[in-house]
Amino acid sequence: MAKLTGTRTFEQVLAEIERRIILSGLRVGDRLPGERQLAEELQVGRSSVREALRVLETLGLVECQVGRGPNAGAILTYDPDGTLTDLLRLNLSLSSLTMREIIDTRLMIEQWSAGQAAHGPHAEHTRAMTAALAAMDSAATPEEFVAHDMAFHIALTDAAGNTLNSAIMRALSNTLRHYAVEAVHRLGHTADLQADHRLIHTAITTGTPADAVAAVTEHLGRAYPLATPM
C-alpha cells in the first residue's frame, strides 16, 4: 500500500483500519494485525497506529492487549457491521466542520463532563489529571505542553463515564492540536493556563460541580476565544 501522507495521518489510519476490518470479514474475537505490522504496512509512525487503536478501544470496538507474541495486539470485541462504520465516520467527518463548531462541541462536552466528574471523581482519572499537570509544569516546548494538556482534558472527560463523549474528545483533541499550540504561542506563557487547570482539578477532586463547570468555561474561553458566547 502507498504511504499515507498529509496532516491527518491519524484519521487516515482509522479509515484504513475500518476498511480492512470490513473487507476481511472479521468478527468478534478475531485479532487485528499488530501495531508494528500495521505501521509498516501503512508506512506511518507507530504513534499514529497507537492513537487510532486507542480510539477504537474507547469506542468499545477492540480490546488492546499488552505484550508480545501471538497473544499481543487488538481483538475485535464488537460486530463491525453497521455501528463500526457509523462510529468511525464520526471521527473522520471532523475535517468538514468549522473551527467554531469544533470548539463549541468541545465546550459543551467538557462543561457536562466537569460537572459529572465532580459528582463522583474516580481515583484513576484524577491521578491521570494530576500526572498531566506535573508533566505540563516541566514541558520544554509548546508542543510538549499541548500534548500533556490534551491528556489532562481527555482524563477529565473520561472521569464523567460517557464512552462516546470520550471518543469524541479524542477526535476533537487531534483536530485542535495545531490550534492549541498556536494558542500557547499567542499567550506567550502557560502560567494562566496552568492556573486554570489547577482550578478545574481542585473543583473535581473536592466535589464541587458548579465550580468545575465555571472553571472549564473560563479556561476554554482563555485558550480559544471562539469558545466565548457570541
Q: Average pLDDT, stretch 145-159?
A: 92
- Residue 56 pLDDT exceeds 60: yes
Alpha carbons 220 and 40: distance in angstroms, whole number: 38
Q: What confidence tens digit (pLDDT) does each residue in 62-88 have?
A: 887 765 555 667 888 765 555 555 555
Report CA-CA distances (Å) from 97 to 52, 172, 180, 198.
20, 11, 17, 31
Report CA-CA distances (Å) from 50 to 28, 36, 56, 214.
20, 9, 10, 33
Question: Architecture of 97-227 per CATH?
Answer: Up-down Bundle (1.20)
Q: Would you state the pLDDT for residue 5?
A: 47
* Grid cell at residue 66: 499488552
Q: Average pLDDT, stretch 185-204?
A: 93
Q: Average pLDDT, stretch 131-140?
A: 92
Smallest Cα–Cα separation from 218: which of 207, 208, 209, 229?
229
Does the domain at residues 9-89 carry the CATH identifier 1.10.10.10?
yes
On average, the pLDDT of the chain sits at 80
Given pLDDT bands bounded at 50, 70 and 90, which one contains residue 205?
very high
Where along the chain do its domains lie?
9-89, 97-227
Q: Average pLDDT, stretch 137-157?
A: 91
Q: Would you state the pLDDT for residue 133?
A: 94
Does pTM surpass 0.75? no
3-state SS assignment for residue 110: helix
Could you give the percent of the chain with pLDDT greater than 70? 78
The larger pLDDT score, comparing residue 107 to residue 37, is at 107
Q: Would you state the pLDDT for residue 228?
A: 53
Q: Average pLDDT, stretch 104-119?
A: 94
